[in-house]
A = this chain, B = another copy of it.
Amino acid sequence: MIHTRDFQALNLVKVMETQAQKASATIDFDKNGGVVAAIAVDHLSSRVLMVAYMNREAFDETVATGRACYFSRSRKKLWRKGEESGNFQIVHEIRLDCDADAIVLAVEQRGDAAACHEGYESCFFRKLDGGLWKVVDRRRVDPAKYGPGYGHQPKKSAG
């Protein structure tokens, strides 16, 4: 027996899934090998927090759940942002560009308010200054707290 509340919840999930499919039909995933660039910005300050990629499945999940889900090109699988660290992102708004091959998500960064796997609010914590990339932001959290296997390894060049 299905209770009315369960039935309503199931209907809502179905509506969200249908909306996600309608929305993703417009996006040009083919142009860049099945993915589009997805830029997460802070929903209040508009600051760019990170750039990642989404395939259709990641986009549909993001719309259906209201939480940012990306596609990891290196690991070749869905990357539910925050599943290891708790630093998930509530999606307030989704925008699409003129060519339908890039997305901007206005997000509320939860957890330790650090979108970057190195513990910064934004992945863009280095600024060009006289030919050198200088770290100009402060870390919000030491990512060691999430365990030794957390995140992808930073490149040697990212110092």
Contact = CB atoms under 8 A, between A and B. Distances in A.
Contacts of A58: none
A130 B19 CA distance: 6
A144 interface: no
Contact of A23 (B20, B94, B116, B128): B128
Contacts of A4: none
Given A98-B158, A127-B93, A51 B39 contact: yes
In this complex, the member of A22, A98, A154 whose beta carbon has the largest number of chain B beta carbons within 10 angstroms is A98
Interface stretch (A5-13, A41-49, A79-87): A41-49
B130 A51 contact: no
Give the interface residue-count category, chain A. 35 or more
Contact of A154 (B41, B95, B99, B132): B99
Given A39-B48, A63-B128, A99-B123, 12 more contacts: A23-B128, A27-B157, A28-B157, A37-B37, A45-B46, A96-B126, A96-B128, A97-B116, A98-B120, A99-B154, A100-B155, A104-B124
Interface of A: 18-20, 22-23, 26-28, 37, 39, 41, 45-48, 50-51, 63, 93-100, 102, 104, 116-118, 120, 123-128, 130-133, 152, 154-155, 157-158
